[in-house]
Amino acid sequence: MGGVPRFWRSIDNRYRLIGTRCKNCGEVFFPPRVVCPNCRSDGEMEEVQLSGRGEVYTYSVVRVPPEGFEDKAPYVVAVVKLEEGPLVTAMIVDCEPGEIDVGTPVEAVFRRISEDGEDGVIYYSLEFRPVREG
């Protein structure tokens, strides 16, 4: 995934689910953006903490994994709609593929997501898991 600096730059966002909000139009973005795509030079971004709660907007089950994910397959990937508005791509963990559907409530959870590759980095990130009753 491009090595240590590339991962390190976005650790706050990945580990703590920090997004950005445009002070001009109020829209919240995750992944974070430097420029608001609605307001461009009229906008101004500030950091915003996201709750990590949302629901599955769409999903798939990866059966043919890329390098680094071999021991996880089959695994569920999804676009999750966060309660603050943005859609975010993530893995859905702690579940069987059959448990997930469009609309399933999910919450963010910290996970090791792929093995150390050639550059020695072990990648961690916030992923999502189904919200369990009780």
Partner 1 sequence: MLRRDVAIVGVGMTRFGELWERSFDDLFVEAGLEALEDAGMGGDEIEAMYVGNMSAGRFIDQEHVASLIADRSGLTPIPCTRVEAACASGGLAVRQAILAVASGMYDIVLAGGVEKMTDVTTEEATATLATASDQEWEAFHGITFPSLYAMIARRHMYEYGTTREHLALPPVKNHRNATKNPKAQFQFEITVEQVIESPLVADPLRLLDCSPVSDGAAAVIVCPLEMAKEFTDTPIVVRATAQASDSIALHDRDDITTLKATVEAAKTAYKQAGVEPEDVDVAEVHDCFSIAELVAVEDLGFVEKGEAGEAYHDGMFEIDSDYVAVNPSGGLKAKGHPVGASGVAQVVEIVEQLRGEAGKRQVDGAEIGLTHNVGGSGGTVVVHIFERAD
Which chain residues interact with partner 1 by CB under 8 A? 1-2, 6, 10, 31, 57-67, 69, 72, 75, 77-79, 86-91, 97, 102, 113-114, 123, 125, 127
Question: Please, what is the minimum distance in Å from the beta carbon of residue 105 to partner 1?
Answer: 16
Q: How far is the CB of 131 from partner 1 (least distance, A)?
A: 19
User: What is the layout of strands, in order, in the sheet containing 18-22?
Assistant: 28-29, 18-22, 45-49
Q: In this complex, which beta carbon is closest to partner 1, that of residue 101 or of residue 133?
A: 101
Task: Please say whether the dihedral angle defined by the alpha carbons of residues 124, 35, 52 and 65, taken in this order, is positive or negative.
Answer: negative
Q: How far is the CB of 134 from partner 1 (least distance, A)?
A: 28
What is the DSSP code (8-state) at residue 72?
T
Work out whether the CA dihedral 48, 53, 58, 60 comes out positive or negative: positive
